[in-house]
Structure 1
Amino acid sequence: MLINPLSSSVILQQMADALPTHSPGDTTSDLSSSHEALALFSHACMASLGFRLLGFDEDKLQEALCHELAPRLPANWNASFNTYAFVYAHQQSALRFVIRTDRMGGKAEIRGLGINDERIARVEVIIKDFISNAALPVRITITSDGVEDRSNLLQTLQNVFISRNRIEDLASLIKINIVQKLLPSLQKEGYEESADDRAVRDDADDAGRRPPRQPVIPDPLPQPAQPYPYNDPLNPPPRNPVPAGDFPPPGFEDPYDINRPAGMPLRQPARSPFGNIGADDLYPPGLGPHDPLRPGLGIGGGLPRPGGGQGMHPTFDDLFGGPGGENGEFDPQVPPGARYDPLGPGGLPRLGGRRPGGGSGPFGGGFGGFGGDII
């Protein structure tokens, strides 16, 4: 039957074997605080998985001394306060590993680092959830002959923890968050990786094989303006539009033809019942709505239009044109189409002689000089 290297019994034995031997006359404690017991626990987990201790400072290794004393720890393993570091090597990796335990208030952080790998694994634990301060400090019994008595050390160390289940829970946290991230696929009899962690590592390996995603660079130029609504021939309207219901919304005015479909001419203004009086005043004087470059006979440009212009400013046809009076006779008092006589009352006879449809007067109509007032 294979024994789990991270079982409570194996870890407690590793902790008992790691406590250094007292020199004669040494009366100090072996474990004086809860975070010191936690640091010894993390070392026991690493030693159970085949990690070989090289020292306590990556810049000042004590590999020969640690190898000579193994499985005991050197006496200076807990010389620092609230911070405990261990440097390891493993036969299944060319890297060196640093495991550091730091106290932060009521919590402790266990960090692991593969030197030259720069990947830090860490886990935080609440100390009181695992360690019982009532069982501290721990002191190895010394007989009257000055010999250490370690016969009851396993039970003493077990009393330091809340329970055996808590020991295995803490070992599982270190395995999942530290060991499996620093040395994945570690081979050890009775050791099995967590299924969840294997799935996470496989996903990370797959992500590492995929080519990196190209960054999306935003377009510095603004998008061209589109008419609204935009009639896209590649995007036909939905086949089943939502029915309008019994009370469809009212239509809205569109004075600027925003919703006019492409290709449809602009809407023509409604014809007024009063005609287009003053329509030609929208154009430059003398040009009218016709092309000025087209030859024409009228003053307003273009071909002459019957009936005169449509502006408020009178033209030649407005003054003297028109079909004549009643029954085709020229009425000198009301010449058809005339608005005013530019010469006024008593002026010279109007030019032009006999107008179409006019009378037989020698001056083209009117009673002497009285045909020039405003009509």
Structure 2
Amino acid sequence: MSINPLSSSAILQQMADALPTHPQGDTTSDLSSSHEALALFSHTCMASLGFRLLGFDEDKLEEAQCHELAPRLPPNWNASFNTYAFVYAHQQSALRFVIRTDRMGGKAEIRGLGINDERITRVEVTIKDFISNAALPVRITINGDGVEDRSNLPQTLQNVFISGNRIEDLASLIKINIVQKLLPSLQKEGYEESADDRAAREDADEAGRRPPRQPVIPDPLPQPAQPYPYNDPLNPPPRNPVPAGDFPPPGFEDPYDINRPAGIPLRQPARSPFGNIGADDLHPPGLGPHDPLRPGLGIGGGLPRPGGGQGMHPTFDDPLFGGPGGGNGEFDPQVPPGARYDPLGPGGLPRLGGRRPGGGSGPFGGGFGGGFGGFGGGDII
């Protein structure tokens, strides 16, 4: 039965093998801090899955030295402070990969990048949830002959972690969030994909098939001003119903039928003989539709409509004088259609006799007051 390369025992042995050889006379520690232990752990996970170390700077590789010392790390692997970078290659991919571990306060971020792929993967961990600072620093045992003794080094490194389960949990986080997104469908003896791994691979494949996003070019011209609220003729405002309450609003007059519901015809105006007198005087002379002062065809006038005009100078066909709608409707040659009544007569002097407007006469055939002895009315002009 094959061994899982990311099991706790395999990772601890890989970490023990990866620590550089301790020079004689060197009294410094081999693993001094928690974030340094986390960086060594991430490198061990990559090396266990077949990633080959090329160096620590993508612009300055040390492939020959790394290959010569493998599985040991070069002594300068931890030369930087709080930031650790590793450059890898894999036989199942033509890309190069960069794994970087950065410390940020009590947390650490492990990021992965496929060079020329430009997809960054990352996982964030809380250091104290995995690393025990009480077991640090770690130093390789030197026997009496000055030779390194690494026999108990895996057990010493296990004490650096909270527990064996925490080792496998941390390895699973790196596997799912870093390895499977950088190199989907990785083939390694004893290595199996989980459901989360398959989902990560499908996401990576979909991202690779997705066409590049086109940049959005802003419009250099400003947008036209829009009134607020915007009056859309195709979207009339809804008719708000009268709010119900104990005291409904009074019924005001609605001369323009603003509140008239749709489908109900307009109200017809009342036909009173005296109610519309003066209505046509709202139009200037010559501009009204039926100007009683200037009747006739053409601009500014027209034929007198039935029922007379509605100005302050009504004609004799107005119901006020017994015209159509008010008199007997017979033709009177003394009062032709369109004639006006002058109460004083020609020259501004009163006349005796004559007919009153509308064809009627006084008791003596005269005007108002009648006969020769009465005061005659005006004249028809």
Which of the five TM-score ranges fits, normalised by the shorter chain? 0.7 to 0.9
Structure 1 range deviating more: 293-302 or 139-148? 293-302
Give secondary structure in 1 for the equivalent of 2:176. Answer: helix
Report the CA distance shift for 1:71/1:237 in structure 2 as closer, same or farther (over 3 A).
same
Asked if the contact 2:352/2:371 (under 8 Å) is kept, the reply is no
Is residue 369 of structure 1 aligned with residue 374 of structure 2? yes
Q: How far did 1:45 drift?
A: 0.5
* CA deviation profile, 1:194-244 (whole Å, cap 9, x unmatched): 312422442554466567899999999999999999999999999999999
Quote the Cα distance in structure 2 between the aligned partners of 1:299 and 1:8. 106
Asked if the contact 1:348/1:369 (under 8 Å) is kept, the reply is no
Asked if the contact 2:95/2:114 (under 8 Å) is kept, the reply is yes
Q: How far did 1:253 drift?
A: 8.0
* CA deviation profile, 1:64-110 (whole Å, cap 9, x unmatched): 11111111111111111111111111000111111111111111111
Quote the Cα distance in structure 1 between the aligned partners of 2:69 and 2:325. 139
Quote the Cα distance in structure 2 between the aligned partners of 1:29 and 1:35. 14
Structure 1 range deviating more: 224-233 or 143-152? 224-233
Quote the Cα distance in structure 1 between the aligned partners of 2:33 and 2:238. 74
Structure 1 range deviating more: 255-264 or 360-369? 360-369
* CA deviation profile, 1:37-85 (whole Å, cap 9, x unmatched): 1111111101100001111111221111111111111111111111111
Structure 1 range deviating more: 93-102 or 252-261? 252-261
Structure 1 range deviating more: 227-236 or 245-254? 227-236
Report the CA distance shift for 1:306/1:63 in structure 2 as closer, same or farther (over 3 A).
closer
Structure 1 range deviating more: 209-218 or 160-169? 209-218
Q: How far did 1:252 drift?
A: 9.7
Asked if the contact 2:280/2:291 (under 8 Å) is kept, the reply is no
Q: How far did 1:311 drift?
A: 2.4
For structure 1, which runs of at least 5 residues remain unmatched after alignment? Answer: none
Asked if the contact 2:111/2:122 (under 8 Å) is kept, the reply is yes
Quote the Cα distance in structure 1 between the aligned partners of 2:300 and 2:353. 19
Give secondary structure in 2 for the equivalent of 1:167. Answer: helix
Report the number of matched residues.
Answer: 375
* CA deviation profile, 1:304-341 (whole Å, cap 9, x unmatched): 56775432234476799879999999999999999985
TM-score by length of 2: 0.72
Asked if the contact 1:52/1:88 (under 8 Å) is kept, the reply is yes
Structure 1 range deviating more: 119-128 or 154-163? 119-128
Report the CA distance shift for 1:226/1:32 in structure 2 as closer, same or farther (over 3 A).
closer
Report the CA distance shift for 1:50/1:110 in structure 2 as closer, same or farther (over 3 A).
same
Quote the Cα distance in structure 2 between the aligned partners of 1:180 and 1:355. 114
Quote the Cα distance in structure 2 between the aligned partners of 1:115 and 1:131. 30
Quote the Cα distance in structure 1 between the aligned partners of 2:101 and 2:216. 42
Report the CA distance shift for 1:150/1:317 in structure 2 as closer, same or farther (over 3 A).
closer
Give secondary structure in 2 for the equivalent of 1:61. Answer: coil
Structure 1 range deviating more: 274-283 or 151-160? 274-283
Report the CA distance shift for 1:368/1:308 in structure 2 as closer, same or farther (over 3 A).
farther
Root mean square deviation, CA, Å: 7.0
Structure 1 range deviating more: 106-115 or 295-304? 295-304
Quote the Cα distance in structure 2 between the aligned partners of 1:224 and 1:253. 40
Give secondary structure in 1 for the equivalent of 2:50. Answer: coil
Asked if the contact 1:325/1:335 (under 8 Å) is kept, the reply is no
* CA deviation profile, 1:232-280 (whole Å, cap 9, x unmatched): 9999999999999999999998765567688986543345585433333
Asked if the contact 1:298/1:304 (under 8 Å) is kept, the reply is no
Quote the Cα distance in structure 2 between the aligned partners of 1:369 and 1:26. 151
Alignment of 1:1-375 (within 5 A): 1-203=1-203, 205-206=205-206, 209=209, 256-257=256-257, 266-271=266-271, 274-285=274-285, 289-290=289-290, 302-304=302-304, 308-315=308-315, 341-343=342-344, 347-348=348-349, 367=372, 370=375, 371-372=377-378
Give secondary structure in 2 for the equivalent of 1:316. Answer: coil
Give secondary structure in 2 for the equivalent of 1:331. Answer: coil
Report the CA distance shift for 1:196/1:243 in structure 2 as closer, same or farther (over 3 A).
farther
For structure 2, which runs of at least 5 residues remain unmatched after alignment? Answer: none
Report the CA distance shift for 1:259/1:176 in structure 2 as closer, same or farther (over 3 A).
farther
Asked if the contact 2:95/2:116 (under 8 Å) is kept, the reply is yes
Report the CA distance shift for 1:348/1:308 in structure 2 as closer, same or farther (over 3 A).
farther
Quote the Cα distance in structure 1 between the aligned partners of 2:260 and 2:228. 9
Report the CA distance shift for 1:228/1:252 in structure 2 as closer, same or farther (over 3 A).
farther
Asked if the contact 1:349/1:369 (under 8 Å) is kept, the reply is no
Quote the Cα distance in structure 2 between the aligned partners of 1:50 and 1:106. 30
Give secondary structure in 2 for the equivalent of 1:27. Answer: coil
Quote the Cα distance in structure 1 between the aligned partners of 2:228 and 2:31. 79
Quote the Cα distance in structure 2 between the aligned partners of 1:35 and 1:266. 86
Give secondary structure in 2 for the equivalent of 1:16. Answer: helix
* CA deviation profile, 1:2-51 (whole Å, cap 9, x unmatched): 21110000000000001111222122111011111111111110110000
Quote the Cα distance in structure 1 between the aligned partners of 2:138 and 2:309. 120
The alignment-based identity, stated in percent, is 95
TM-score by length of 1: 0.73
Quote the Cα distance in structure 2 between the aligned partners of 1:369 and 1:239. 66
Asked if the contact 1:358/1:364 (under 8 Å) is kept, the reply is no
Quote the Cα distance in structure 1 between the aligned partners of 2:240 and 2:314. 60
Quote the Cα distance in structure 1 between the aligned partners of 2:211 and 2:258. 47
Quote the Cα distance in structure 1 between the aligned partners of 2:186 and 2:15. 22
